[in-house]
A and B are shown apart, each in its own frame.
Chain A
């Protein structure tokens, strides 16, 4: 059984000009101990999706099952227990960390708030353990976030998430603000923690080489919708959706010798407010036909375990 199952999830926001479809009919599942990478354009609904799984945004429609339990609208005791088992790590822990609290206080907070650690000595001991786990030297215990660099701040964020012994962590761009060396340290730390504790990750990022390194499966989103989902290597080897193809062709490589055949995907970006029927990508898609502007393409299994939402997936790829 999948640990997390998301079925036809929808999250709409009210705006003065109509409902904004931030997440529209997205379904997927993740097995325990695995990593699902989520990539897509900025504003396509990745954070909203992550927050919905945590219950920080109540879903407009659809269902979220965690270990078989429906947690879509979980309240009270169930919600409290869920909050413990599913945690989040943010892109810039700086804005999510209270600047007036020391490192020690920040890591102690989730421990005392959930009551899993009682008594001053026990809390202190646990904070020290957690700092050790994430590689924060104990001399930073009394430091404040603004005195630390981005890499150490992100370690605080991870320690806070781990404090309550979750099973599942939504990682919302945890390394986007870091330089490549600290990024590599944090990614190694996250892989180690996953291995030791059997953690499950949703890993949201823009960085395709990072997502390729860390993920088992990858889901590509565009304008609130799922466009493609499959096993990681397969996505990079044989992308089937025109948006994914464009995305992969635009990866900037750290070399000055790559000939770029970049597919810039010109065209209007469609608005998620009162979206037109049809495929949301049709305004930028080089293959779009009439049906694309009329009917919404539901994700279909184009090859085994490879889901694609495109009317012409077979024609484009010669399947």
Chain B
């Protein structure tokens, strides 16, 4: 069953200097117990999407221009404040991108975790404290540090505290915005293991926002690649990793420094992210796309999402002809 279903969502920010179209008609769905990796360039609109799901976007300057967000069949955009508050705590947890601002600087780490447990489970103080210590242990922070304040913790340790807080309420849907970027790989592996265990025991679903395609390969079943407010490619991990189709996604894979070969220079995607207040016409990626010069349609016409194989969607004009070619290549009857 689908737990989260976003349809044609559009979110803008109305700023002094103009309208920023941060999220531009995206659709995605996450099934129960399923993890979706949301990957994309800085400023592509990933955090805005995540905050939108929880309706945590300040309006104004933000505006939900159109679209629907269904959580277990209920449209979040139509929920009353009380319903929204209940859902945020008990059903959906979010790990915010900026751990520094999510913690209260004048409360100890232990108090902050206990408070969340107390709030959601209505248990005794002693029980909350016991669970708090167990949570700290799970995220590998020595129990004796529970009495310290956030400024005494390194960035990565704060991030682990945030993860502990998010997991403490056993959410049905976890939205994690760059949860492991600040962690070293051994702790990252343990945190992912923890999240995976939660997935198995509680059927927790996850929307995982990350830049790290390695993390996606390890912990997600589905992937969506975002560029300039749109999802340009989506599908199963096998579709995205082994049958990469969109030129932007290909560029991302080519940019990663290899762990096995030494390269003199890295190969980033040429050019820069478009100005979100002044997006290019046609395909938003065309000014940077190595294939765009072959096709005048790229600059003129916005590509639709072609379904190149079942469940694998690509928003690129090249796919119009590709859809046929790929079918031939894969031996699927045209």
A residues lining the B interface (CB < 8 Å): 13, 15-17, 20, 39-44, 47, 91-92, 95, 147, 149-152, 173, 176-185, 187-188, 191, 206, 208-210, 212-213, 233, 236, 246-247, 250-256, 260, 262, 264-265, 268-271, 273
B residues lining the A interface (CB < 8 Å): 15, 17, 39-43, 98, 100, 140-142, 144-145, 147-148, 152-157, 159-160, 178, 181-190, 193, 211-218, 237-238, 241-242, 251-253, 255-259, 262-263, 265-269, 272-273
A191 touches B265 (CB 8 A): yes
User: Complex Cα distance A141/B39, Å?
Assistant: 30
User: Complex Cα distance A251/B218, Å?
Assistant: 11
**Residue of A149, A177, A179, A256 with most chain B CB atoms under a 10 A cut-off:** A179
**Given A42-B157, A184-B257, A255-B217, also A271-B145 (CB < 8 A):** yes
User: Complex Cα distance A265/B189, Å?
Assistant: 10
New A-B contacts (9) at CB < 8 Å, excluding given A181-B268, A250-B186, A264-B189: A39-B184, A43-B156, A149-B273, A178-B42, A185-B268, A187-B266, A206-B183, A213-B263, A254-B213
**Given A42-B154, A184-B267, A209-B256, also A256-B238 (CB < 8 A):** yes
Chain A-chain B contacts (Cβ-Cβ < 8 Å), number: 170
**Residue of A40, A213, A254, A260 with most chain B CB atoms under a 10 A cut-off:** A254
Closest to A214 in B: B257
B255 touches A253 (CB 8 A): no
Partner of A16, one of B147, B157, B189, B273: B147
Interchain Cβ contacts under 8 Å between A and B, 19 examples: A16-B147, A40-B184, A42-B154, A150-B43, A177-B178, A177-B181, A179-B252, A181-B269, A182-B42, A184-B255, A184-B257, A206-B156, A206-B182, A210-B257, A252-B185, A252-B214, A254-B216, A255-B217, A273-B142
User: Complex Cα distance A151/B268, Å?
Assistant: 12
Contacts of A178 in B (CB 8 A): 42, 211
Contacts of A147 in B (CB 8 A): 15, 17
User: Complex Cα distance A258/B6, Å?
Assistant: 32
| Distance in Å: Cβ of B203 to nearest Cβ of chain A | 23
User: Complex Cα distance A251/B186, Å?
Assistant: 8
Contacts of A39 in B (CB 8 A): 184
| Distance in Å: Cβ of A171 to nearest Cβ of chain B | 15
Partner of B142, one of A151, A184, A269: A269
| Distance in Å: Cβ of B85 to nearest Cβ of chain A | 28
A47 touches B154 (CB 8 A): yes
Contacts of A181 in B (CB 8 A): 41, 251-252, 255, 268-269
B154 touches A209 (CB 8 A): no
**Given A181-B268, A188-B266, also A251-B185 (CB < 8 A):** yes
**Given A16-B147, A43-B157, A271-B145, also A95-B100 (CB < 8 A):** yes
A252 touches B218 (CB 8 A): yes
Partner of B144, one of A180, A213, A271: A271
